[in-house]
Structure 1
Amino acid sequence: MKKDNVVREKSFRFAARVVRLYQHLRIAKKEFVLSKQLLKSGTSIGANVREADNAETKADFIHKMRVAQKEADETMYWLELLRATDYLSENEFCSIHEDTSELLKLVRSIILSAKTRQKRMAA
């Protein structure tokens, strides 16, 4: 991993956490549908952040980070649904939901900063 890239590191650790939660839901809870959706969106955040690192233009970077933002928001949806249907306990939910929220805020902040820099360069 690249050094000093907080969002890249956090999104990778988050993806690993999502994979472990997916495994737990499948094995312990026998839940196969919602957990698969969570797996897809939760691991996609980091994949899109990594793609953004290799963006060809500032606009491409912003686009890929926006996709990561959408995936983080979708992940929150699946977590909320898993909690509402009692597949996640309150403690399990709060812990990973907080991580998701932090990651979402970080991605949004990066997008806003990139847009601001892009506007300054265009002016």
Structure 2
Amino acid sequence: MNKSEFVETLKKRTKKLAVDIILFYDNIKKTDTTRIIGRQLIRSATSTAANYRAACIARSQKEFFSKISIVVEEADETLFWLEVLKDTKFASEESIQLLMKETLEIVKIVSKARKNVGNN
């Protein structure tokens, strides 16, 4: 896979994760707590996708590093909120497992990209 294919694949993956999390949230029981967590979860997941797209059109390496750093933070926050939903049993492990796996993979990918840019 060349660089532009990789970039497009990751754009699709981050967007799909955001959509999947929105749909997941729509299917969990709504309480005051899940509404608060859900807003945070949706905000961080959609921010991950939006900021990755912004990083892809960065005008400089410095701007890319800044944007990809936001992506790392937002993806990690997404993972945090998924863990909270799982640990509090507001969501079943089977309903959240694939979302957590994909989020963790994205965190690892963008963390490595940030590290590689930071080393240059």
Q: TM-score range, shorter-chain basis?
A: 0.7 to 0.9
The structure with the largest alpha-carbon Rg is 1
Task: Measure the CA separation in 2 of the matches of 1:82 and 1:70.
Answer: 19
SS in 1 for 2:58: coil
Is 2:72 the counterpart of 1:69?
yes
Task: Measure the CA separation in 2 of the matches of 1:91 and 1:85.
Answer: 14
Residue number in structure 2 paired with 1:100: 103
The correspondence for 2:88, drawn from 85, 90, 99, is: 85
Q: Give TM-score scaled by structure 1 length.
A: 0.85
Q: How many residues align?
A: 112
Q: How does 1:111-122 map to 2 (within 5 A)?
A: 111-116=114-119, 119=120
Task: Measure the CA separation in 2 of the matches of 1:113 and 1:85.
Answer: 36
Residue 36 of structure 1: how far off its partner (Å)? 0.9
Supply the AA of the counterpart residue of 1:97: M
Q: Give TM-score scaled by structure 2 length.
A: 0.87
Q: Percent identity?
A: 29
Task: Measure the CA separation in 1 of the matches of 2:53 and 2:102.
Answer: 18
Check conservation: 1:15, 1:42, Cα contact below 8 A: yes
Structure 1 residue runs without a partner (length 5+): none
The correspondence for 1:41, drawn from 40, 44, 53, is: 44
What is the aligned-residue RMSD (CA, Å)? 1.3
Task: Measure the CA separation in 2 of the matches of 1:32 and 1:115.
Answer: 37
Q: Deviations over 1:25-59 (max 9, x none)?
A: 2xxx0131111110000111010001111211101
Residue 113 of structure 1: how far off its partner (Å)? 2.2
Task: Measure the CA separation in 2 of the matches of 1:77 and 1:112.
Answer: 21
Task: Measure the CA separation in 2 of the matches of 1:71 and 1:114.
Answer: 18
Task: Measure the CA separation in 2 of the matches of 1:85 and 1:112.
Answer: 33
Structure 2 residue runs without a partner (length 5+): none
